[in-house]
Structure 1
C-alpha cells in the first residue's frame, strides 16, 4: 500500500484545522452584535453599524460586565444578548442538522461508489459559500433568515462530517496496517498543536482587526483546499469489485463474498433499516445484544452531556467572568495543549494498571461530571483553568466506543454498526447542541449555570450503564475461564493440536482483546490494543466543527 497521499493529507488537515478555528469566532460576532443592538431590539437585523467591523465591542462588554453589580441595565443587556444569541444558534443548528444527517448517512452507505475527489470539492465549496454568506451578512446587513440559509447549505454539502470521513478513508487506505496507529497519532498531534496556536493568535487578532479579515482568510483557505484536492489527491488501491452494500448483508458464513452481486435499488433501500438488526436478540446471543445496547446508549448520553458545552461561549462572555476574545483564545489554547498531554498520560497509566474499557469509561464519566459541576460553580478565571486538569480524562467514552463495540461484532457486521455510530454522533451533536442553547436561552435569567448542572447529572446515567457492562463482561470472562479449564481437564491431548490452528483463528482471538485511545492524540494506546479497527477512524468526530 503506497503512501502517495502524504502531502495531500498534511496540507488538507492544516488548512481545515485553521478554517475550523476561524469559523469558531462567529458566535462572538453574534453576541457582540446583539449587545450593540440592545436598545434598538425591535429593528432586528437592519441597523447594524459599520463600526461593528472594528472590534471595540468586547472592551465595551467587559466594562459593562464589571459594572453589573451596580447597573441593572448593563446586566439586562448582556442577559438579552445571551438569550438572542443562543436562540439564533439553536435555530441555525436545526437548519443544518436535517440535511447533514441525511447526507452523512447516505455517504456512509455508498462511500465505495462515489468519486472522493468530487465529494471533497463539493463539501469544500459548501464551506466557502457558508463563509461568503457570513461576509454578506456583516457587510450588507442582511436579514436574520440568511443565517439559516447559510447553515442549510453547509449541512447539504456535508460540511466537516463528510470531510472527516473521506480523510479518514484516505489515511487508512494510504498507510500500511502496522503503521496506521502511529500515523494517526502524528496527524492528531499536528492538528492539536496547530489548533492551539491558531486559537491563541485569533483571540488577539479579533481585538486588533475584527472579524472580516479572518473570514476572508478562511475563504482563501477553502480555495487552497480545492486546489489541493485537484492536484494532490491520488487514487488509493482498494478493492472495487464488491458491492459493499451487498457485502454488508452477507452472513459471516458465506463463501461467496468475493463474487460481484448487483443489488437492486429496493434492496439498498431496505438495507438502510437492516443496520439496527445486529442488536436484535433473534440474530445473536442475549449477552451480546445487551452489551451492544449498553455501549450505544452510554455513548448517546455522553454526547448529550457533551453538547452542553456549546453554551460555554455565552457563559464565559457574561458575568462573573466577562471574558474578551483574547481571554477565550488563551483558554482554548491551554485546553487543547492540556488535553493532548494529559489524556495520553492518563490512558497509559490506566493501561499499566490493567483497567479494562468499561472501568476506563466509568472513571471518564466521573471526571466529566466533576468537570461540568466545577465549571458551573466557578466564580473566577483561575478556577476555570484549574478545571482543565480534570478535562483531559473526561472523554475516553468517545474514542473507546468503537473498540468496545468491535469486540462483539463479526467482521461482516462492523460497517453496519460503525455507520450507525457515526449517524448517532451526527444526530445528537446537532440536536443536543440545539437543545442546550434552547434551554440556556430560557434559563439564563433565573439560573445561568442550569444547563451545565443538568449535563453533570446526565453523566450519572452512562456511568451506571458502564458498571452494568463491566459486570456482564466480568461474568462472561469467568464463564470462559471455567470452560477453558474444563476442556483442558477433559481433553488434555487437545494441546497437541495447537500447531494446526489457522492464522485466522488467532486473529479472531486478538480481536476480542482491545482497549483503546482517546482522541486523535490517543492512538498510541490504540496501537497496543487493536490492529483491526482501522475502520473506526470513519466515526471519530473530526475536530473540524463549524459553529453554525
Structure 2
C-alpha cells in the first residue's frame, strides 16, 4: 500500500511540474502567438529552411570538390571574389522577395546560387590554406585556435547586435547592411589581398605514391584516360605500401576521430528545441543572450586553454583527448541541468570541447608531404560526402518505416470503423454492475 502511495505521489508531483512548465511556456510565448507574421514564420520556416538547405547542399559539394581538385591552378583572389559575388546575389534576391513579395521558389533559387558560389565553405578553405602555407608547422595549431576564437568573438558581437537591432528597427535594414559588407569584402580582396600564383615546381599531376618529398620538384604527366581516376588520388595517402604504417595509421585515426566528432556535434542540433520547450521554456531573447555569452566565453577561454596546454608541453593528440572529455562532460551537464544558471555554468566547459574541429587540418598537414598538400582540400569533400550518405540512407529507411506505419494505421482505422456497430451493441447490453472499481486497483 505504501508503494502505491509513493507512485501516486511521484506522479502527482510530475503532473504539477509539467503544468507549471506549460504555464511558464505559455507566459513566455503569449505575446508571440498573437502576431500573425511570426505565427506564419513558426509554421513555415522549418520546412522552408529544410528545402533551401537541400537546394544549397548539392552545388556546395560539387563546387567544393572542384576547388579541392584544382586549387593549385586557380587564383584564390578570383575564387574569393566569385564566392562573395554569389553572396551578393543571394542577398539581392532576399531583398526582392521582401519588397516584391515573390513566390516561394525564389528562396530555393537564392539558396542554389549561393551554393553554386561555394558560400562559406570556399571562404573557409581558402583561409585555412593561407594559414597553413604562411605559418610554421609548430605554430599552426595555435594560429588556427586564434582564428576560430576571433571569428567566434565577431559572431558574438554580431548576434547580440542583430538581436537588439531587430527589436528596434526590424530586419530589412540588416539585409542592406549585409549587402554593403559584401561589397566592402570584395573591395578588400581586390586591393589588399595579394594574388596567388601557382607553383611551377609542384604540379597537381605529381604522383601521390612517391615516398619522398624530394620528388616534389619533378612533374609527372598523366595520360588523359587516367584523369578520371585523378579524383580519388587523395585515397593513396592512406596506402601502407608506399608509406610508413605509422603515417598511414595516424591519418586514418585523425579522419575517423574527426568523423565521429562531427556526428557528436550533430546532437547539438536539438539544443534549440530543448531550450524552447519544458523544462526551460526560454524566449528568443533568452536564446540570444545565451548564444552571446557562449560565443564570448568560447572566444576567450579556448585561446587561454590552448596556450596553457602548449606551455605544459601537450601535443595535438593530447589536446584532442582532453577536448573530447570536456565535450562529454558538457553534454552530460546540459542533459541533467534543471535551472538556467546551470546552463550558463556549463559554458565554462564548452570552450575546451572544440579543439578537435580546429586542430584537424594542422594535424593532417603535419603528416602530409610537400607534394600532397594540394590534395588536402579533397579531405573536405570525402568527409562531407561520406557523412551525407549515411543520413541519406537512414532517412530513406525512416521514410519507408513511416510509410508502412501510415498504411498500418489506415488499415487499423478501417477495421475499427467496420467493427464499431458490433462493439456498440455489445457494450449497450452490458449491465452497469459489470464495471467494478475494485478491479482497477492492484494489490500491493
Deviations along 1:63-97, whole A, 9 cap, x unmatched? 99334899xx99xxx99976854443333222222
Could you tell me which residue of structure 2 aligns to residue 312 of structure 1? 271
DSSP 3-state at the match of 2:241: coil
Cα deviations across residues 197-237 of structure 1 (Å, max 9, x unaligned)? 2221111111222221111211111122222333333334x
Partner of 1:133: 93
TM-score by length of 1: 0.58
Provide Cα deviations, 1:236-266, integer angstroms capped at 9, x if missing partner.
4x55313531235361347553345554554
Structure 1 residues 430 and 322, CA, compared in 2 at 3 Å: closer, same or farther?
farther
The answer to whether 1:249 aligns with 2:208 is: yes
Structure 1 pair 307–151 and aligned structure 2 pair: CA distance change class (3 A): farther
Give the drift of 1:436. Answer: 12
Paired residue secondary structure (2:240):
coil
1:233 matched to 2:201? The reply is no
Q: CA distance change for structure 1 residues 154 and 112 in 2, over 3 Å: closer, same or farther?
A: same
- Larger RCO, structures 1/2 (Cα 8 Å, 6+ apart): 1
Q: How does 1:32-71 map to 2 (within 5 A)?
A: 65-67=25-27
Structure 2 CA distance for aligned equivalents of residues 212 and 432 of structure 1: 38
2:339 match = 380
| Unpaired segments ≥5 residues, structure 1 | 1-61, 440-548
Is 1:205 aligned to 2:181, yes or no?
Answer: no
Q: Does 1:88 align with 2:48?
A: yes
Displacement of 1:389: 0.9
In structure 2, the CA distance between the partners of 1:224 and 1:429, relative to structure 1 (3 Å rule), is farther
Displacement of 1:120 in angstroms is 1.6
Query: Matched residue of 2:58: which SS?
Result: helix
Looking at structure 2, the residues matched to 185 and 364 of structure 1 have their Cα atoms a distance apart, in angstroms, of 13
User: Per-residue deviation at 1:273?
Assistant: 1.0
Change (3 A) 1:378 1:144: farther
Distance 1:298 1:172, change over 3 A: closer
Residues 152, 298 of structure 2: 8 Å contact kept: no
> Corresponding residue for 2:348?
389
C-alpha contact (below 8 Å) 1:303/1:428 kept by paired residues: no
Q: 2:379 aligns with which of 421, 431, 442?
A: 421
CA contact (8 A) 2:55 2:111 kept: yes
Structure 1 residue 381: Cα displacement: 2.7
2:144·2:359 contact (CA, 8 Å) conserved in 1?
A: no
Matches within 5 A, 1:168-207: 168-170=128-130, 190-207=150-167
Q: 1:340 aligns with which of 275, 284, 299?
A: 299
Quote the residue 2:217 is aligned against: 258
The DSSP-based 3-state class of the residue aligned with 1:341 is helix
Matched, 1:102 2:59: no
Pick one of 239, 249, 262 that aligns with 1:280.
239
Cα distance in 2, alignment partners of residues 265 and 222 from structure 1: 40
The answer for the alignment partner of 1:161 in structure 2 is 121
Q: Deviations over 1:466-488 (max 9, x none)?
A: xxxxxxxxxxxxxxxxxxxxxxx
Structure 2 CA distance for partners of 1:255 and 1:220, relative to 1, 3 Å: closer
Higher Rg: 2
Instruction: Give the TM-score normalised by structure 2.
Output: 0.70
Distance 1:177 1:386, change over 3 A: closer
Counterpart selection for 1:289 from 245, 248, 251: 248
Q: Tell me the distance in 1 between the aligned counterparts of 2:172 and 2:344.
A: 30
The verdict on how the C-alpha distance between 1:435 and 1:217 changes in structure 2, with shifts beyond 3 A counting, is farther
- Identify if the C-alpha distance between structure 1 residues 354 and 305 changes in structure 2 by more than 3 Å, giving closer, same or farther: same
Residues 97 and 430, structure 1, Cα contact 8 Å, conserved in 2? no
**Counterpart contact for 2:28–2:282, Cα < 8 Å:** no
**Does structure 1 retain, via aligned residues, the 8 Å contact 2:160–2:292?**
yes
- Matched with 2:8 is none
Pairing 1:431-442 to 2, within 5 Å after superposition: none
Summarize the Cα distance change of 1:167–1:414 in structure 2 as closer, same or farther, 3 Å threshold.
closer
The answer for the alignment partner of 1:459 in structure 2 is: none
Change (3 A) 1:353 1:171: closer
Match of 1:29 in 2: none
Name the CA distance, whole Å, in 2 between partners of 1:183 and 1:281.
31
Tell me by how many angstroms 1:156 deviates: 0.8
Aligned residues: 373
